[in-house]
Structure 1
């Protein structure tokens, strides 16, 4: 019950999956959350299957965390849905799917997790540079609508909870080599970044673990995007 505890959403693949061993190396117990996450042999890793787009599921994850580990110290809001379409081609189903995970999921689990934090804590969310630096090649209004909300609420909550020692930060990503992008698209996607390549999962993990340990940093939108947000 003495080690710190982090909840990581979207933990079945990609960035979320890589964050589990990264936080274990920092000495944290980890609650790994996704709809399809597999059980772990590590007694300090609790797998919780949940669809965070459904109201109440985030609160249930926090309850299971407290039942198993007795505390919540950090939360990584990594789960997200991205649908790139021209604006008028988005359907009601697209809207429900994107806002369900990106906004409802954030709200439900973050509210419960912060409510369970009894001392200093940290919430880090995953956003996209497209919020501030739109690309004509990637029409993504729903990503900007929802992830832009995360950028804004990061600053709002950082101020609201500063005196309580709970920090809020966000990493805004360029395109990262994850299962979301087919290998044959990587060359074209690389050209969208000033540095001429896509990002690696390890680079995102490094940024998140930096923020985890950076006690004087709160309200920060940290761009891990190969220079996209600076220009092109």
Structure 2
């Protein structure tokens, strides 16, 4: 039996990159998957089609999780399609690479709304459903930027606030829902080879790679593998934790 057989999952921001890899991995492990996007519906549909061609079940729900009503719609439509929501991965987010003194009000608002508020909205929407069913897995995509201050040129102060808020808030939430059979964890990626790397300064990327003991970028599938573990029954006694998947970056170079 596949480890996620009979489960249903939502992966926010899953039309590309890490989110796409998570959606495909969950489906390969037997889960029914809701592929979510804000605007790239064609790409999200392509992910869902790939899942169906492999024999899985998938739907696409367009929703901006930074908005409460749309986050609630995402949960409701998935529950209607699959009968329940067992797993939710809060993955949607953005990267802003800008010196703190040059950061704008718009930078701050975008980071907090897309990253931290998005996690807040989907968590608030899905947890009552999971608590009622006495089972659930809530998993967030964190980031190595919350632990490493100097990346050799890249500057993530504003984004760090939003990602750090997620991992800080995750632990007391995990404590609140633990007795209800719900676990809350995060996977913290290092530099992963996705389209998002193209949004980061090239010289900074090269400098950052020297901080990775493995001297390579991670693969989206390696993040998906950690997510799949946390979503499975094998991780039933793990909650309030951050799994670091970064090639040893957080140990030092």
Which TM-score bucket, shorter chain as reference?
over 0.9
1:229 is aligned to 250
1:58 correspondence with 2:58: no
How far apart, CA to CA, are the structure 1 residues paired with 2:248 and 2:7? 33
Contact 1:154–1:168 (Cα < 8 Å) also in 2: yes
1:156 correspondence with 2:172: yes
1:109 correspondence with 2:125: no
How far apart, CA to CA, are the structure 2 residues paired with 1:170 and 1:225? 13
Equivalent residues in 2 for 1:87-126, closer than 5 Å: 87-117=100-130, 118-126=133-141
From 206, 215, 224, the equivalent of 2:225 is 206
How far apart, CA to CA, are the structure 2 residues paired with 1:85 and 1:199? 23
Deviations 1:51-90 (A, max 9, x none): 2222321111011112211101110011111101111211
From 84, 87, 112, the equivalent of 2:97 is 84
For structure 2, the 5+ residue unaligned runs are: none
Contact 1:57–1:109 (Cα < 8 Å) also in 2: no
How far apart, CA to CA, are the structure 1 residues paired with 2:208 and 2:242? 22
Residue 92 of structure 1 and its aligned partner are, at CA, apart by 1.3
1:74 is aligned to 87
Single out whichever of 132-141 and 90-99 deviates more from structure 2. 132-141
1:45 is aligned to 58
Single out whichever of 51-60 and 160-169 deviates more from structure 2. 51-60
1:15 correspondence with 2:28: no
How far apart, CA to CA, are the structure 2 residues paired with 1:81 and 1:93? 13
Contact 1:8–1:78 (Cα < 8 Å) also in 2: yes
How far apart, CA to CA, are the structure 1 residues paired with 2:23 and 2:188? 20
2:213 is aligned to 194
Contact 1:8–1:19 (Cα < 8 Å) also in 2: yes
Instruction: Give the TM-score taking structure 2 as reference length.
Output: 0.86
SS at match of 1:161: helix
Deviations 1:84-134 (A, max 9, x none): 111121111111111111111111111111111112111110111111221
User: Which has the larger helix fraction?
Assistant: 2
How far apart, CA to CA, are the structure 2 residues paired with 1:171 and 1:116? 23
Give RMSD over aligned pairs: 1.9
How far apart, CA to CA, are the structure 2 residues paired with 1:107 and 1:145? 14
How many residue pairs get matched? 231
Contact 2:171–2:184 (Cα < 8 Å) also in 1: yes
Contact 1:14–1:178 (Cα < 8 Å) also in 2: yes
1:147 is aligned to 163
Contact 2:211–2:252 (Cα < 8 Å) also in 1: no
How far apart, CA to CA, are the structure 1 residues paired with 2:220 and 2:121? 26
